Amino acid sequence: MKKHNYSAGPCILPQEVFEKSAQAILDFNQSGLSILEISHRSKDFVAVMEEARALVLELLGLEGKGYQALFLHGGASLEFLMVPYNLMKVNGKAAYLDTGTWASGAIKEAKHFGETLVVASSKSENYNHIPKEYTIPSDADYFHCTSNNTIFGTQMKSFPTTKIPMICDMSSDIFSRVLDFTQFDLIYAGAQKNMGPAGATLVVVKEDILGKTGRDIPNMLNYQQHIDKESMYNTPPVFPIYVSLLTLQWLKNLGGIAAIEKINNQKATLLYSEIDRNPYFKGTAAVEDRSNMNATFLLVDETHKDVFDAMWKEAGISGLNGHRSVGGYRASMYNALPLESVQVLVDVMQAFEQKMN
Ligand code: PMP
């Protein structure tokens, strides 16, 4: 039986994507060959890459607006350093918003390249909210933020306006909600939440921000090289890209980001209402900053942990434990998680309440 999969990433993908990608491993496009054994330069795979790159821009509403979509290796973590390598001028500086473990990871890498200014941080409150009052220096080379903080369950509901390029790590909420994506000059995301399996990283970059740093950038780390080579500078992660394409097609057929956003809002409302109603649970993130992707919560009385854990496992739920650094529970409700799975969790929380009463 398929589990109700709340894993934070890698995570649930649409069932039809699993089925189609399994088929492509056996026989891709009825070619008599597996997708795993053909050249990345073959006509069939080049078509996959072209469609995936185009579909990313289409879904984000960025077609014809000077953006390029790239599928790279190295995870979002490599982007932590590719961003400053490609965008921080020699003797320049960059501004960062520190909203969690991943944001602070990006800050650490930027420091290798030059002055890295943290405009605000919620670290002292264990990253339970998104700082709102801060100033972005107009002479920084770029501003970097993290739209969704996977570990702490907070999400930026709005973004600052600034004249300098805005860079956003959208690893855990890309394609989940409607935003004006033109406000960002570079977006990056590891594939393994809303897009596909681990192994590919999506980078969407406005081409005219590149080439201004005066740095000598090694080819593999140079966005312009990857753009010039149409995202095939070296052998790309072919299978993760193919599975990503299938997920993007699934999203488009569903009605795109606006359609999935409605479902995501329903899921989040259902779960947060229960967390707030049920006296045995409490949320950990500031209400106005709660993530629609990762809901973090605690048992009011931790001594009941064994009872609750046994109940959700019995109901076929998987992956509900919080990140090892924070504990508690985290329900990751990515695009492919059905509303019914959230209902199952809410039912378990209510059954737990009854048992305790
Ligand atoms: N940024 C965010 C917001 C993340 O959630 C993660 C991983 N969970 C990362 C960066 C790191 O991604 P990767 O493992 O692909 O390097």
Closest CA to 170 of 145, 153, 151: 145
- State which ligand 1 atom lies nearest to the alpha carbon of 201: 15
pTM of model > 0.95: yes
Residue 7 in contact with ligand 1 by CB distance below 6 A:
no
Ligand 1 centroid – CA 350 distance (Å): 33
In this structure, the answer to whether residues 187 and 297 fall within a common structural domain is no
**Final residue in a domain of this structure, among 254, 271, 292:** 254
The ipTM is: 0.99
Domain extent, residue 104, equals: 15-254
Helix (H) or strand (E) holding 202: strand 201-206
**Final residue in a domain of this structure, among 195, 230, 254:** 254
Residue 144 lies inside a defined structural domain of this protein: yes
For residues 276-281, average pLDDT: 98
Mutation choice for ligand 1 from 99, 127, 171, 194, CB with most ligand atoms inside 8 A: 171
- pLDDT in the model for residue 287: 98
| pLDDT, tens only, 226-276 | 999 999 999 999 999 999 999 999 999 999 999 999 999 999 999 999 999
**77 labelled as ligand-binding?**
yes
In this structure, the answer to whether residues 175 and 81 fall within a common structural domain is yes
In this structure, the answer to whether residues 184 and 271 fall within a common structural domain is no
In this structure, the answer to whether residues 170 and 142 fall within a common structural domain is yes
Residue 3 lies inside a defined structural domain of this protein: no
In this structure, the answer to whether residues 58 and 184 fall within a common structural domain is yes
Residue 9 lies inside a defined structural domain of this protein: no
- All residues at 6 or more sequence positions from 10 whose CB lies less than 8 Å from its CB, including other chains: 192, 193, 197, 198
Domain of 173: which CATH number? 3.40.640.10
| pLDDT, tens only, 30-82 | 999 999 999 999 999 999 999 999 999 999 999 999 999 999 999 999 999 99
Ligand 1 centroid – CA 190 distance (Å): 6
Helix (H) or strand (E) holding 215: none
In this structure, the answer to whether residues 320 and 332 fall within a common structural domain is yes
Residue 231 lies inside a defined structural domain of this protein: yes
* Domain count across the chain: 2
Mutation choice for ligand 1 from 102, 148, 203, CB with most ligand atoms inside 8 A: 102
In this structure, the answer to whether residues 165 and 195 fall within a common structural domain is yes
**Final residue in a domain of this structure, among 238, 254, 270:** 254
Q: What is the mean pLDDT of the chain?
A: 98
In this structure, the answer to whether residues 150 and 32 fall within a common structural domain is yes
Q: What are phi and psi of 134, to 5 degrees?
A: -160, 165
Domain of 298: which CATH number? 3.90.1150.10
pLDDT score of 324 more than 90: no
Ligand 1 centroid – CA 108 distance (Å): 14
Residue 2 lies inside a defined structural domain of this protein: no
